[in-house]
């Protein structure tokens, strides 16, 4: 394991929300993989069958943080948006490459969020149509994609 990966794993273990709850165990490895491949993550969820707890599928939010005061730093906002759009394009290419060899019917994709180019890696299917019964299939697909991302990131660092 590289020093970069060890450092990322250590930092991910320290992440907690305002209630002190850490990253869901079922999505933690995906967060590590994306960070190892230089995708900035901000939120994630392993997916929950009870929609009162969250969404019925796994997802990870990717996006560079916006400057503190967008009104006084419009060029910072433009730079943030540009970096996010580049990250989106890179993620789309990774997903396309991954699906060249993976024939899963439960495909992942990108869902744009916000106005500055941030996005989620989540089921490619319209999220309102994802059933809680599909949760396990999408969780398995996220694990398989995570393995692919880890392999790609580790190959880049060698």
| pLDDT > 90? residue 129 | no
Q: Are strands 108-112 and 41-45 parallel, antiparallel or unpaired?
A: unpaired
Quote the mean pLDDT of the chain. Answer: 90
31 neighbors 12 (Cβ within 8 angstroms): yes
- Sequence spans of domains, the chain: 3-157
Distance CA 62, CA 44 (A): 9
Closest CA to 66 of 111, 20, 100, 113: 113
So what's the pLDDT on residue 67? Answer: 72
Write down the pLDDT at residue 53. 65
> How many C-beta atoms lie closer than 10 Å to residue 118's C-beta?
23
**Quick one: pLDDT at residue 118?**
94
Residue located via tokens 């991954």: 98
- 5-17 tens-digit pLDDT: 999 999 999 999 8
Confidence category of residue 35, pLDDT binned at 50, 70, 90: very high
pLDDT digits (tens, 9 = 90+) for 46-102: 998 776 667 789 999 999 988 776 666 667 788 889 999 999 999 999 999 999 988
Region 135-143: mean pLDDT is 93
Nearest CA to 43 among 136, 145, 113? 113
- In the numeric block, which tokens belong to residue 86? 């580049």
Mean pLDDT of 128-141: 88
At 72 the pLDDT is 66
């Amino acid at each position: 394991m590289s020093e970069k990966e060890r450092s990322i794993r250590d930092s991910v273990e320290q992440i907690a929300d305002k209630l002190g709850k850490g990253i869901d165990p079922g999505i933690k490895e995906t967060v590590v993989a994306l960070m190892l491949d230089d995708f900035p993550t901000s939120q994630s969820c392993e997916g929950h069958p009870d929609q009162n707890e969250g969404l019925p599928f796994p997802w990870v939010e990717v996006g560079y943080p916006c400057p503190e005061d967008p009104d006084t730093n419009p060029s910072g906002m433009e730079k943030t948006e540009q970096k996010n759009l580049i990250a989106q394009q890179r993620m789309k290419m990774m997903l396309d490459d991954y699906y060249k060899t993976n024939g899963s019917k439960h495909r992942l994709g990108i869902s744009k969020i916000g106005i500055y180019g941030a996005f989620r890696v989540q089921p490619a299917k319209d999220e309102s149509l994802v059933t809680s019964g599909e949760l396990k299939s999408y969780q398995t697909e996220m694990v398989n994609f995570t393995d692919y991302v880890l392999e790609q990131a580790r190959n880049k660092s060698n």
